[in-house]
């Protein structure tokens, strides 16, 4: 057979479509690559990729990732080692910035995350920020160590950078913020800072386009009053020490996320936020009546998330509600839910508070049941009250519409069951059971990959119909994954390798044997006689450490 080399070359040239991608698409690809070395490697794809990489305007300098690549030298003190790492990082940033300055390209994003900091580095940070501002920076992200004695003073010229649209500042001193000229600022995030009411007024009121405002672990602010900000769409307040009152007069606000401190109550007034679509409250220390009052003010609400709140009884209604989340609301007894268009439900707690709710319209659900403190170390139980509770839970699960392709996943410690056939659900009678109703759009192979990657289970059981191919798919996937060195993920680091690299051995556990190797297997053996088809795999896994030394 003759091979026409000229024809092959023409075909290869004709399919080089990756070089024909629009420049903004290539920039998005480069920005989404986590490892900057991998992004740099794309320059070998073609001459055009090399030219675009050279002018790439997203600069990310993360000292956490940088110094982990440096090997510690023997006989060097900790202070000398830190100084060496600071110097190496400083040289790296200087060289990279210098190349961009020489090319006279604009800088779209500049992210600097510093872990080791001294006064010498502070002068360099000033110059780096100046260089970014001179290159018409749009997205400025600064993370510096929040130290009382050696806190970095943010240059006031940052607040006069007219091209900035997004500003994130962590661990710095802001100064007075008297002369602010940020006409295009849309996103503002302040973290680990000392601030007061005047600084907030100066920052928000003088920025007419601000849409997204977040305070994370800040101190000094007692009252937050926001008004006359027509474009404001999102406000996040997380662990702000001393904050006692929040009042948002923001008619176009769509997202509010508050994470408080249980010991420090905070009054929250959102009555003017009629456009709110997502409300998240954690450790909000609000009583039932206040939460009900809030909910009645939000006719457009689509998502409600309550975590570690003191609510005991709650009524939730609305045609627009799509997502409900209750996490660790340990006093919650009953949730009366009338939301015909609800798609997703998540619950983490001790009891089952949804006895009157019909979940047939849900597309997915997560139910994590925490054992009572006095039974935290218990496994299987046999008390009559528990059996009644389990029967109620099984009845609730039977109301889901499994004909739409939903699948039930039950997890207890390192044991997992996937139910394909859900006409009759038999749950293991254990404390600490975790259940997930998985949406139909996730195929069985993808579901299996997710389970194996996330949990590394010791036993994996599949309950399916007699005509189902699920068990055959699982058997093929697990058996073929026992090859000594899987061909996938060969060049990935250990933390990025898939589950196949960690699986040491798998075998099908016989459920017909009269001898049970564990209480869990014993329960499976008994219940398998009541199910159409049960296949159980026992899995052994390698540790991350063993792979690192391999």
Q: Is residue 375 scored above 50 in pLDDT?
A: yes
The predicted pLDDT at position 5 comes to 45
**Tokens 């609730």 label which residue?**
396
Q: What are phi and psi of 88, to 5 degrees?
A: -65, -40
pLDDT above 50: residue 8: no
Comparing CA positions, the residue from 338, 339, 523, 509 lying closest to residue 430 is 523
Question: Residue 254 burial (CB < 10 Å; 0-12/13-18/19+)?
Answer: middle
Whole-angstrom distance, CA of residue 36 vs CA of residue 90: 17
Mean pLDDT over all residues of the chain? 84
Roughly how many angstroms between the first and final C-alpha of the chain, as a whole number?
Answer: 44
378 vs 275 pLDDT, higher one: 275
Compare 6 and 291 and report the one with higher pLDDT.
291
| Placement of tokens 């798609």 in the chain | 343
DSSP-derived letter for residue 194 is B
Does residue 49 surpass a pLDDT of 70? no
Q: What is the dihedral of CA 374, 325, 253, 210, to 10 degrees?
A: 80
Q: Strands, E, within 202-327: which ranges?
A: 212-216, 223-226, 234-238, 245-248, 255-259, 267-269, 278-282, 303-307, 313-317, 323-327
Residue 214 has pLDDT above 90, yes or no: yes
> What are the structure tokens assigned to 130, written together?
């100046």
User: Which of 324 and 477 is assigned the larger pLDDT?
Assistant: 324
Q: Cα–Cα distance between 475 and 449 in angstroms, integer?
A: 13
Residue range 152-176, pLDDT digits in tens: 999 999 999 999 999 999 999 998 8
Quote the percentage of the chain above a pLDDT of 70.
83
Q: Does residue 307 have a pLDDT over 60?
A: yes
How much is the pLDDT for 528?
A: 86
**Cα–Cα–Cα angle for 30, 33, 35, nearest 5°?**
120
Q: b or e along 500-532 (b: 16 or more beta carbons within 10 Å of the residue's beta carbon)?
A: bbbbeebeebebeeeeeeeebbebbbebbeebe
Q: Could you tell me which of 340, 424, 327, 403 has the C-alpha nearest to residue 366?
A: 327
pLDDT at 36 (0 to 100): 57
CB 186 within 8 A of CB 165: yes
Give the C-alpha separation, 223 to 242, whole Å: 9
pLDDT of residue 259: 96
Contact between residue 425 and residue 443 where contact means Cβ atoms under 8 Å apart: no
Read off the pLDDT band of 31 (50, 70, 90). low
As a whole number of angstroms, the distance between CA 303 and CA 301 comes to: 6
φ/ψ region of 136 (left if φ > 0, alpha if ψ in -120 to 50, else beta) reads left
Give the DSSP per-residue string, 57-109.
-EEEEEHHHHHTTSPPPTT--HHHHHHHHHHHHHHHHHHHHHHHHHHT---SE
pLDDT of residue 9: 44
**CB contact set of 522 (below 8 Å; sequence gap of 6+):** 516
Instruction: Tell me what pLDDT residue 1 has.
Output: 42
Q: Give per-residue pLDDT as tens, 99-151.
A: 777 777 778 899 999 988 888 888 999 999 999 999 889 999 999 998 767 78
Give the pLDDT score at 302.
Answer: 98
Model pTM?
0.84
Is the distance from CB of 326 to CB of 335 less than 8 angstroms?
Answer: yes
Q: pLDDT per residue over 203-212, tens digit each?
A: 888 888 999 9
Q: Which helix (H) or strand (E) holds 142?
A: strand 139-143
CA-based torsion, 10, 14, 15, 21: positive or negative: positive
53-62, 153-162, 225-234: least confident range: 53-62
**What stretch of H or E contains 345?**
strand 344-349
């Amino acid at each position: 057979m003759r091979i026409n080399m000229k024809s092959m070359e023409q075909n290869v040239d004709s399919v080089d479509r990756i070089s024909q991608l629009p420049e903004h698409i290539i920039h998005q690809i480069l920005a989404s690559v986590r490892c900057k070395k991998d992004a740099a490697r794309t320059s070998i794809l073609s001459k055009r990729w090399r030219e675009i990489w050279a002018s790439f305007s997203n600069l990310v300098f993360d000292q956490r990732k940088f110094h982990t690549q440096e090997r510690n030298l023997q006989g060097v003190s900790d202070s000398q080692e830190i100084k060496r790492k600071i110097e190496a990082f400083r040289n790296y940033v200087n060289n990279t910035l210098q190349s961009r300055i020489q090319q006279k390209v604009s800088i779209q994003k500049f992210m600097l995350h510093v872990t080791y900091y001294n006064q010498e580095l502070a002068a360099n940070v000033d110059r780096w920020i100046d260089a970014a501002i001179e290159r018409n920076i749009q997205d400025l992200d600064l993370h510096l160590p929040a130290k009382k004695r050696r806190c970095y003073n943010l240059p006031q010229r940052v607040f006069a950078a007219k091209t900035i649209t997004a500003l994130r500042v962590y661990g710095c001193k802001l100064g007075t913020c008297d002369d602010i000229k940020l006409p295009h600022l849309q996103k503002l995030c302040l973290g680990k800072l000392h601030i007061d009411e005047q600084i907030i007024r100066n920052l928000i009121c003088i920025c007419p386009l601000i849409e997204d405002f977040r305070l994370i672990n800040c101190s000094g602010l007692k009252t937050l009053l926001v008004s006359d900000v027509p474009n404001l769409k999102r406000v996040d307040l997380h662990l702000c020490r001393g904050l006692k009152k929040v009042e948002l007069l923001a008619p176009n606000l769509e997202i509010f996320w508050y994470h408080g401190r249980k010991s420090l109550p905070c009054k929250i007034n959102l009555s003017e936020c009629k456009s709110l679509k997502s409300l998240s409250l954690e450790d909000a220390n609000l009583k039932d009546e206040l939460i009900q009052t809030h909910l009645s003010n939000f006719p457009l609400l689509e998502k409600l998330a309550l975590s570690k709140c003191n609510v005991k009884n709650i009524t939730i209604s609305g045609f627009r509600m799509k997502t409900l989340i209750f996490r660790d609301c340990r006093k919650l007894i009953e949730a009366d839910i009338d939301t015909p268009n609800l798609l997703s439900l998540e619950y983490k707690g001790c009891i089952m508070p949804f006895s009157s709710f019909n979940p047939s319209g849900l597309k997915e659900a997560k139910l994590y049941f925490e054992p009572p403190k006095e039974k935290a170390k218990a496994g299987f139980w046999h008390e009559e009250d528990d059996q009644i509770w389990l029967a109620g839970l099984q009845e609730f699960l039977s109301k889901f519409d499994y004909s739409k392709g939903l699948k039930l996943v039950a997890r207890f410690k390192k044991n997992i069951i996937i139910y394909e056939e859900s006409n009759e659900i038999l749950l293991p009678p254990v404390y600490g059971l975790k259940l997930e109703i998985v949406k139909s759009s996730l195929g069985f192979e993808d579901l299996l990959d997710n389970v194996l990657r996330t949990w590394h289970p010791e036993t994996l059981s599949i309950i399916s119909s007699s005509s189902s191919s699920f068990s055959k798919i699982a058997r093929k996937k697990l058996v073929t994954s026992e090859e000594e060195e899987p061909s996938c993920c060969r060049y990935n680091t250990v933390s990025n390798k898939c589950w196949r690299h960690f699986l040491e051995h798998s075998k099908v556990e016989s459920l017909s044997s009269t001898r049970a190797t564990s209480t869990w297997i014993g329960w499976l053996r008994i219940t398998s006689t009541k199910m159409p088809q049960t296949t159980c795999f026992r899995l052994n896994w390698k540790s991350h450490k063993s792979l690192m030394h391999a």
